[in-house]
Amino acid sequence: MPSRSRTSLVWPAVLIAALAAACAKPPPPTVSMEGQACAAAPALADARPVPLEDKDIAVLLDPGAPCWRTGSDGPANVYAAFRLPIAAEPYILSVFSELRGQSLFAARILLLDDQGKTLREIGHDSFNFQGPSLRANLRARPDERYAIVASDPQLVGRDVSQVVSQVIQSGVVVRGAYVPIYTGADATRTLTFSYSGLIKVSARPLPAAN
């Protein structure tokens, strides 16, 4: 009996914590890094490994995320670093900027060699909307060993609006049977390109030639 009493007390506490987490709202978009201390260059020592198996590696970038500045008065570059798979052949690297609340990380991609030298940069114009999220697919090269997903200072703070179609279900009872009724409605969603957000990176082999 005592153990049953303790269990009955634990479940309400767990339920309350779960409801609180579900109701928590994402923070507003971060559009300023004023006063934030940043390094002089991005760090690669803690780069997250990306396997060549189409598995998402997710990173949540918040106001406390790593950043670097070029010069004392240069714009802040919030970033996450990834260590790319070793592959003799090119493969597909995918980068997502996922919607989080109203925040959409203003992403660009830097591809570096094993010494940390930038080989090429993929700008925001290579990202395409996929629903409310942004996605870029690129063919990685064998000499590219690191990918840095960094904020684009030209994009941070801009708003973009999307028209979202919604299907609303209702119904009526006719002669004892429920008949569903579907109606459509459009809503406008405003997204803000931000220093904060959720990014995902994955790598997969090229499709086999027929």
Encode pLDDT of 58-81 as tens digits.
Answer: 999 987 899 999 887 889 999 999
Q: What is the pTM of this model?
A: 0.77
pLDDT at residue 93 is higher than 90: yes
Amino acid of residue 37: A
Split at pLDDT 50, 70, 90, the class of 147 is: very high
- Residues written for the chain: 210
How many angstroms separate the CA atoms of 100 and 198, rounded? 7
Q: What are phi and psi of 138, to 5 degrees?
A: -145, 155
Lowest mean pLDDT across 87-91, 141-145, 165-169: 165-169
Fold of 45-157+193-205: Jelly Rolls (2.60.120)
Split at pLDDT 50, 70, 90, the class of 115 is: very high
pLDDT > 70 fraction of the chain, expressed in percent and rounded: 83
Cα 139 to its chain centre, rounded Å, is 20
**What local confidence, expressed as pLDDT, does residue 83 receive?**
98
Split at pLDDT 50, 70, 90, the class of 55 is: very high
Split at pLDDT 50, 70, 90, the class of 180 is: confident
How many angstroms separate the CA atoms of 37 and 198, rounded? 21
**What local confidence, expressed as pLDDT, does residue 11 receive?**
45
pLDDT at residue 3 is higher than 90: no
pLDDT at residue 17 is higher than 50: no
How would DSSP label each residue in 171-209?
A: EEEETTEEEEEEEEEEEEEEEEEES-EEEEEEEEEPPPP
DSSP class of 53: S
From the list 56, 34, 39, 24, the residue with the least C-alpha distance to 156 is 34
Instruction: Please state the domain extents for the chain.
Output: 45-157+193-205
How many angstroms separate the CA atoms of 135 and 95, rounded? 6
pLDDT at residue 6 is higher than 50: no
Q: What are phi and psi of 201, to 5 degrees?
A: -130, 140
Average pLDDT (141-165) is 89
pLDDT > 90 fraction of the chain, expressed in percent and rounded: 58
